[in-house]
C-alpha cells in the first residue's frame, strides 16, 4: 500500500516536471502551451529536411527575387532574434513556378517558392508572408504539432513538397485528411505575431491585409489548388482580425521607421 502510494507520487512528480520543463509561452500573445519535443530534436530533423530539399529542388538565382529575399530576411531575422536566439538563419528561393507558398522551420531555415512572387508585388508584401511563417515557428506551432503527433516523418515528406504543399510538411508532418486543416486559432496567432514582426522590421503592416485580400480573391470560384489556401484558409474572419491588429502594428511601424532614419 505504502509503496504503491510512493510510486504514484513519483509518477505524478515526474509527469509534472515533464510538463513544467516543456511548457512555454508564445511571444506577443502570451499563450501558454505544452511541448514534449525538445528543440534539439526538432531542429535536427528540420535541418536535415531542408538540406534534402536543397538537394532535390532547383534553387532560383533570379536577381530581383533574391534581392527582395535578402532585404526581408535581414530585417525580419533581426527583429526575431530574441524569440529565436539560436537560429542559424538560411533563406532560399526555390524555383517552383506556380507554387504560391513559403515556409519557415524551427532552427531558422526559410524557403520561398518562386511562385509566391506572382502574389507578392512589394517587399512589404513579401515581408508579411515571411513574418507570418516565422511566427508559426516562434509561437512553436511546429513543436506543438509534432508533440501531438508523437512521431516525425518530416524527412520522408520532403518529396511531397511540390505536390502536397508546405503547410503539410512544416506543420502537419505525417498527418492526413482532417488533421491537415490547420487550426484557425493558430493562424490567427501567426497573423497577429507576424504583423508585429513586420512592423518592427519597418515594413508597412497594411501589406499583410493586401496579401490576405489577394488570397481571398483567389478563393473565388471554388476550392483552389493552391497549397497556401488549403493550409491557410483565407476568410473574412482572418481579414477582420488583421484589421483589428492594424492600429497597434501601425504605431510600432511608425516608430520603427523613425529609428531607421
Which residues are near Zn ion by CB under 5 A? 190, 232
Instruction: Report how far apart, in Å, the C-alpha atoms of 35 and of each of 25, 74, 148, 257 are.
Output: 10, 29, 8, 36
- What is the full DSSP assignment across 189-207? HHHHHHHHHHHHTT--THH
14 versus 184: smaller Cβ distance to Zn ion: 184
- Are 92 and 217 in contact by the 8 Å Cβ rule? The answer is no
Least separation in angstroms between CB 237 and Zn ion? 14
Least separation in angstroms between CB 181 and Zn ion? 12
Least separation in angstroms between CB 261 and Zn ion? 32
- What is the full DSSP assignment across 30-51? --EEE--S-HHHHHHHHHHHHH
- Are 202 and 256 in contact by the 8 Å Cβ rule? The answer is yes
Catalytic residue among 125, 133, 144, 187: 133
DSSP 8-state assignment for residue 139: T
31 versus 44: smaller Cβ distance to Zn ion: 31
CB-based burial label for 81 (10 Å; 0-12, 13-18, 19+): exposed
192 versus 232: smaller Cβ distance to Zn ion: 232
Least separation in angstroms between CB 155 and Zn ion? 22
Q: b vs e for 223-242, b when ≥16 Cβ sit within 10 Å of the residue's Cβ?
A: eeebbbbbbbebeeebbebb
**Alpha helices (H) in 153-223, listed in sequence order:** 154-157, 161-164, 166-170, 184-200, 206-219
202 versus 227: smaller Cβ distance to Zn ion: 227
54 versus 184: smaller Cβ distance to Zn ion: 184
Least separation in angstroms between CB 190 and Zn ion? 5
Please give the Cα distance from 59 to 96 (Å, whole number).
9
Determine whether 133 is an active site residue. yes
Catalytic site positions: 133
Amino acid at each position: 500500500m505504502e509503496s504503491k502510494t510512493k510510486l504514484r507520487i513519483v509518477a505524478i512528480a515526474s509527469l509534472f516536471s515533464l510538463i513544467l520543463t516543456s511548457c512555454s509561452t508564445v511571444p506577443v500573445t502570451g499563450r501558454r502551451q505544452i511541448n514534449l519535443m525538445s528543440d534539439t530534436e526538432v531542429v535536427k530533423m528540420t535541418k536535415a529536411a531542408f538540406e534534402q530539399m536543397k538537394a532535390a529542388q532547383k534553387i532560383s538565382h533570379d536577381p530581383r527575387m533574391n534581392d527582395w529575399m535578402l532585404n526581408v530576411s535581414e530585417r525580419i531575422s533581426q527583429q526575431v532574434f530574441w524569440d529565436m536566439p539560436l537560429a542559424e538563419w538560411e533563406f532560399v528561393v526555390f524555383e517552383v513556378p506556380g507554387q504560391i507558398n513559403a515556409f519557415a522551420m524551427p532552427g531558422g531555415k526559410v524557403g520561398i517558392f518562386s511562385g509566391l512572387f506572382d502574389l507578392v508585388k512589394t517587399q512589404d508584401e513579401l515581408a508579411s508572408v515571411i513574418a507570418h511563417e516565422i511566427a508559426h515557428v516562434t509561437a512553436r506551432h511546429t513543436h506543438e504539432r509534432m508533440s501531438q503527433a508523437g512521431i516525425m516523418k518530416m524527412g520522408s515528406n520532403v518529396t511531397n513538397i511540390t505536390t502536397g504543399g508546405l503547410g503539410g510538411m512544416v506543420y502537419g508532418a505525417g498527418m492526413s485528411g482532417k488533421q491537415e486543416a490547420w487550426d484557425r486559432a493558430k493562424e490567427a496567432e501567426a497573423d497577429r505575431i507576424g504583423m508585429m514582426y513586420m512592423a518592427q522590421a519597418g515594413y508597412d503592416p497594411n501589406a499583410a491585409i493586401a496579401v490576405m485580400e489577394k488570397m481571398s480573391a483567389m478563393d473565388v470560384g471554388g476550392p483552389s489548388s493552391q497549397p497556401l489556401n488549403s493550409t491557410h484558409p483565407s476568410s473574412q474572419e482572418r481579414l477582420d482580425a488583421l484589421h483589428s491588429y492594424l492600429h497597434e502594428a501601425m504605431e510600432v511601424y511608425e516608430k520603427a521607421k523613425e529609428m531607421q532614419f
